[in-house]
Structure 1
């Protein structure tokens, strides 16, 4: 399967993360499963990033999209109170821009955190999650030095103001792994049969395999605040972030 397809759906958001509206055709419509489009910019979720929401416009009505079910096809989950366009219908898709844009800033902020923690402490990620504007990452960090929360906040925002480019590319598996440690989690969860790997590069700070959506530079993230540092057990530190502006 091509990296920019999932089942019958061409995933437009992987190549153009700024795309918010597009024309497409419904290729499957089922009251139980939902909808499949031939072309879609709805991010289906994964890697801790939740799926997009938005609408489909067709025949003078709209169908709200409240989630995505990734199976062999990408099944969009419609609001149960909205009409369902039948297969063959040409529709206009639109992603909720405020939600997606904030998720992109949040996700990129987590990559900055990964890069700073790897550079300054050499520790792997052991877990994580995000919602629009708030997120957490867990690290195998044995000791937390004095002033850690404030110093980490300052280090993150130094990288934000540095305006580092955030670039996306897809490479064959062997070429991607040859670039260095592209998996920042304690366990490599990339499927062994994955032939092409999508890389997100915060240039000069963090390079890792990633399928999510991101802003184009660290400056676009906005100010990052370390909201809380939690001790979840020996060597287990949870860092909670929020995007402050």
Structure 2
């Protein structure tokens, strides 16, 4: 089992670990700060160093029971002590982007009662789909103004691990369908943008909405009769 350091320390950029297993595509570690990907957020990339040699990590994926750090070519041996370093500029962009999506989700739910039907992100840009019948340029402009008000409100962003029974009593978490999680999952990680939005989420986020910076709504489109998409981008 790999200890997921990014759940406790999303700002951790470097770490030490031990190689615990090998796979065709890379290595498993006893602990990692590399985000594994999920919830629309891509996995991290970066470098593992051992004995003065650097191995480029091109991603992370689950392979059976292993959490594999993908490496092209030669790999460190099992038992090797390694130092890991994530691509921080890319990760921080993804943290800002992920929090921006939660702000967007919170505003659209609070003010328009629309549920999320899907989403995806890359560093600095993202899309989110909602259960909406109508979408217009005026609506997109209105949403942009509201989400930037929430950025400026300097809301704290808190991560917590809750017992499943407790999480299932929180209405905002019920709407994100935590009741559909496999029955063996007894603890739910939540991201709480205080006063705006609470969601079950395993990704990495900034500590305060002001870190997101200005969000632009750069596009809107219909993906079906009751499925509308908003595209956002962050200003540097």
Alignment equivalent of 2:116, drawn from 90, 112, 125: 125
Alignment equivalent of 1:97, drawn from 88, 91, 95: 88
Q: Give the unaligned 5+ runs of structure 2.
A: none
- CA RMSD after TM alignment: 1.5
SS at match of 1:204: coil
8 Å contact kept, 2:114–2:130: yes
Does residue 58 (structure 1) correspond to residue 59 (structure 2)? The answer is no
The aligned residue for residue 192 of structure 1 is 183
Does residue 21 (structure 1) correspond to residue 27 (structure 2)? The answer is no
**Residues 114-153 of structure 1: pairs in structure 2 closer than 5 A:** 114-144=105-135, 147-153=138-144
SS at match of 2:28: strand
The whole-number CA distance in structure 1 between the counterparts of 2:118 and 2:16 is: 37
1:28 to partner: Cα distance? 1.1
Q: Which runs of 4+ in 1 moved over 6 A?
A: none
The aligned residue for residue 231 of structure 2 is 240
The aligned residue for residue 104 of structure 2 is 113
How far does the alpha carbon of each residue in 1:146-169 deviate from its partner, in whole angstroms, 9 at most, with x for none?
A: 611111111010000001000000
Q: TM-score, normalised by structure 2?
A: 0.95
The whole-number CA distance in structure 2 between the counterparts of 1:68 and 1:47 is: 14
1:143 to partner: Cα distance? 2.2
1:233 to partner: Cα distance? 1.8
